[in-house]
Structure 1
Amino acid sequence: MKIHLITNCTNLKKSNIQGKVTLESLIREHNSQSIVSAWFEHLENAVQKVPANEVYAGDHWKVATSIVVPNLDLWVLSAGYGLIHSSSHIGSYDATFSSGSENSINKTGLSNNEWWESLHQVRNSENFKCQSLHSLVSINVDDVFFIAASPDYLRVIQKELKQLLLDKKLTNKNLFIISSKHNIDKILMPYFLESSADFCSTLKGGRVSLNIRLARYLLEQDSVKKFSPNHIIDKYNHLQKTSVKLPVKNRKKLSDDEINNFIIKELEVNQGFKVSATMLLKKLRSINLACEQKRFTKLLNKIQLQ
């Protein structure tokens, strides 16, 4: 029996990989009918290709690759490539299901779901270990599947998950879904383990990597060779009972311009010293102001590149 851990890709890519392909550069040249084929043609002709686990960077990916469990296969829900194994050779790219980026899928004229389905239709199946989530599960019906993904990425595979549940290829014995709760389909709720912000005190790290940290916590059991669904649920219930509840803080939400002004002032104050997004965001929140971590990091990176 194998355990298949399926998690989402990250916007952060390692900077030493040459020839990054960006979705933004193709949006101006192609309509919704041709852009997926054009995108994959560019990916196939990437200047440099390396295993996926050497492409992604950041805390989320660091945690994902740190999970040491016998017979575990790590898979990636990639906005650029579709479902890929962590060993698949890919190029560096910039495409995301999250809105607000120049490389957001929704700027192509396709919905995230339409893009996801089209990716698997046009890509060369010989270059990948599995053609889709549906085929991965269908081929490995005796295995266990852990899906630790953000709501945006979870939504694009909901259709496949629902069909696999209807076909009884996925059950409460072999499917565990870890994500924050954002309008998840009711048919998936019996398999859903919410990554509550209250878990941060026990699992450590920021919220951006909370889904994968929860997966690591649940998977690292004493006797994984004798996998027990009940043991997973017991560990989750224990975590719920023992976690410290976070105090509710009504922080003021800021616009991008207000956050940019804060960052610029802090960079001027700390001129000559190395500053991180984590450090600056902590200071922002300490004065009762609010910003989501991924958004803050993106704005900081844009300012530092100017």
Structure 2
Amino acid sequence: MKIHLITNCTNLKKSNIQGKIQLKNLIGNNSAQTIVNSWCDKLEKAEQKVPANEVYAGDHWKVAKSIIKPNLELWVLSAGYGLIHNSSKIGSYDATFSSGSENSINKTGLSNSEWWDTLHQKRSADVLKVESLHSLVSTNIGDVFFIAASPDYLKVIQNELQQLVLEQKLTNENFFIVSSKHNINKQLIPFFLESKADFCSTLKGGRVSLNIRLAKYLLDETEVNIFDCKRVIDKYNDLEKNAIKLLVKNRKKLSDEEVVSFVKKELDIFQGAKVSASMLLKKLRNENLACEQKRFSRLLKELL
């Protein structure tokens, strides 16, 4: 028996990989079908390909890699590639299911779910080591499937998950979903474990890595070839019971323009010295100002 941990990719990619492919360069007067075809062609011909676990960066991915052990396979929900194994060789790319980015999937004319389905029809399953999420589960009956993903990524695989539940390939014995509060389909609610902000005091780290940190906590000490679903539920219930209530500060939410202005001012102060996104965001929040971590990182990246 194996545990298949499925988590989302990250916007942060390592900068030493040559030839980054950006979705924004294909968006324009092209039809949605042309964009998908061109995208898959560019991915196939990527200048440099390395294992996925060497492409992604940031706290989320660092935690995800730390969970890998002999009986656990790590899979990635990638907006650019679809479902891939962490060892699949891929190029560096920019594409996201999150709205508001110049590389957002919704700018292609397709919904996130339509893009996901079309991508799996066009891509090379042999190279990426799996045909689809449905085929992964169907060919590994008896294994455990643990999904730790953000709501945007969870939404694109909901239809496949519902079908697998209907086919009784995913059950209360072998299936868990870890995500933040989400309008999840009622059919999937019995498998849902909410990653609540109150857990941060115990699990440490920022909100952006909370889903994968909760998964690590629940899977920690799971022995090879032994999986106890009751133990997972008990650990979650104990965590929820003992969580320290997070104090919510009434910060002023900033627009993109205001965030950029703040960052420019801070960078001028540092006068070229190296400064991290987390340091700048902490300073912004200490001034009782608000910006979601993923949005802040994106704006900083675009500015630099």
Shift, 1:29, TM fit: 5.3
Aligned-residue sequence identity (percent) comes to 71
Shift, 1:273, TM fit: 3.2
Structure 1 unmatched runs, 5+ = none
Shift, 1:301, TM fit: 2.1
Q: Quick one: which amino acid aligns to residue 161 of structure 2?
A: L
Superposed CA offset, 1:67-115 (max 9, x none): 1433100000011111000111111111110011111000000000000
SS at match of 1:98: coil
2: CA distance, partners of 1:252 / 1:133: 40
More deviation, 150-159/65-74: 65-74
Which residue number corresponds to residue 249 of structure 1? 249
Q: Quick one: which amino acid aligns to residue 102 of structure 2?
A: E
Asked whether the 8 Å contact 1:70–1:225 carries over to 2, the reply is no
* Structure 1: 4+ residue segments shifted above 3 A: 222-225
RMSD of Structure 2 on Structure 1 (CA) = 1.2
The structure-2 alpha-carbon separation of the partners of 1:46 and 1:223, relative to structure 1 and needing over 3 Å to count, comes to closer
Which residue number corresponds to residue 11 of structure 2? 11
Which residue number corresponds to residue 120 of structure 1? 120
Which residue number corresponds to residue 86 of structure 1? 86
1: CA distance, partners of 2:11 / 2:53: 13
Shift, 1:3, TM fit: 0.2
1: CA distance, partners of 2:222 / 2:99: 40
Q: Quick one: which amino acid aligns to residue 25 of structure 1?
A: N
The structure-2 alpha-carbon separation of the partners of 1:222 and 1:158, relative to structure 1 and needing over 3 Å to count, comes to closer
Which residue number corresponds to residue 188 of structure 2? 188
SS at match of 2:15: coil
Which residue number corresponds to residue 293 of structure 1? 293
TM-score w.r.t. length of structure 1: 0.96
SS at match of 1:226: coil
2: CA distance, partners of 1:169 / 1:26: 38
Equivalent runs, 1:170-181 vs 2, <5 Å: 170-181=170-181
Asked whether the 8 Å contact 2:2–2:225 carries over to 1, the reply is no
Shift, 1:186, TM fit: 1.2
Give the length in aligned residue pairs.
Answer: 304
SS at match of 2:73: strand
2: CA distance, partners of 1:216 / 1:243: 17
Superposed CA offset, 1:248-297 (max 9, x none): 22111111111112111212222243221111211211221111011111
Which residue number corresponds to residue 50 of structure 2? 50
Structure 2 unmatched runs, 5+ = none
Which residue number corresponds to residue 269 of structure 2? 269
Which residue number corresponds to residue 205 of structure 2? 205
TM-score w.r.t. length of structure 2: 0.97
SS at match of 1:76: strand
2: CA distance, partners of 1:117 / 1:57: 26
